[in-house]
Amino acid sequence: MAPFSLPADTAFPSDKAAVLPAPLPTPSHGPGGSFTIASSTRINAPPSKCLDIVRNAADYPSWNPFCRLVKIDSQPSPPPPSTTTTTTTTTLPPDHLHLGTVFTFDVHFNPSPDSKPSTRSQERVSVLEDITDPSSKKVIGHRIGWVQIGPQPDWMLRCERIQEFVQVEAPDGKEGVTTTEYRNWETFYGAVAVVVRLAAGEGVRRGFEGWMGGLKKKAEEGGGN
């Protein structure tokens, strides 16, 4: 199977989140979605540090205003050492997200710090892999994604959230700083996806902006690198 990638000319909103003009495919569900909400920004920190923050479920309350609590519901059996890669290492603590981890988010559409959860969403990590440069075959970043588990059947609603962290050239004046291009999108599929967009699309869009800002701030703490 060929590695997943988006077309090279795919455009992401910069330093904000928005509904895209056309839905993007995801690794698990492919093309044919109803709509996609996406965001991107530059983070002055290595891709590995950004990924570690997203995988550390126990630390979400310290930085994430959108999904402020993550409860690990189950962990997969560790893979054999021969199949372990950079992003699927078994040395991380059990409160981290691994490929196959099932977990539940407390989702807050209201950005107020004292707001109650708007909803809870159970997810399963569907993608956890390195991103390699097609020409050099060198690892240049990482990708993590998760799919929602129910409660409705897939034909009604299914979605997948993908986050990519790819090393890019540092901006002018930032010599010696490792910089990451962060790209994030979630595509919604199924018969009631249009209803979800009307009912919760704006809350998700704002939430993605809060997530992106919190991640950037957390990753750049202490100089980022």
pLDDT digits (tens, 9 = 90+) for 194-220: 999 999 999 999 999 999 999 999 999
When pLDDT is cut at 50, 70 and 90, the band that residue 80 belongs to is: low
Structural domain that includes position 47: 24-220
Q: In sequence order, what are the beta bridge partners of 41?
A: 182
61 contacts 222 by C-beta, under 8 angstroms: no
pTM of the model: 0.91
Angle between helices 47-55 and 193-220 (to 10 degrees): 120
Cα distance between residue 37 and residue 54, in whole Å: 18
Q: Is residue 19 assigned to a domain?
A: no
Question: What number of other Cβ atoms are within 10 A of residue 2's Cβ?
Answer: 4
Maximum alpha-carbon separation in the chain: 51
In total, how many domains does the chain have? Answer: 1
- Residue 3 in any domain: the answer is no
64 part of a folded domain:
yes
**What is the rounded average pLDDT of the residues 178-200?**
97
Mean of all residue pLDDT scores within the chain = 91
**Does 13 have pLDDT greater than 50?**
yes
Q: What DSSP assignment string belongs to 69-97?
A: EEEEEE-PPPPPGGG--GGG-TTS-TTB-
Whether residue 144 is contained in a domain is answered as yes
Q: CA 202: distance to chain centroid?
A: 18
Looking at the domain assignment, is residue 74 inside a domain? yes
pLDDT confidence band for 84 (50 / 70 / 90): very low
Which CATH number characterizes residue 136's domain?
3.30.530.20
Cβ contact 89:80 at 8 Å: no
Evaluate whether residue 205 is within a structural domain: yes
Query: Has residue 154 been placed in a domain?
Result: yes
> Which tens digit of pLDDT belongs to each residue from 49-68?
999 999 999 999 999 999 99
Q: Tokens in use for 118? A: 């708007």
14 part of a folded domain:
no
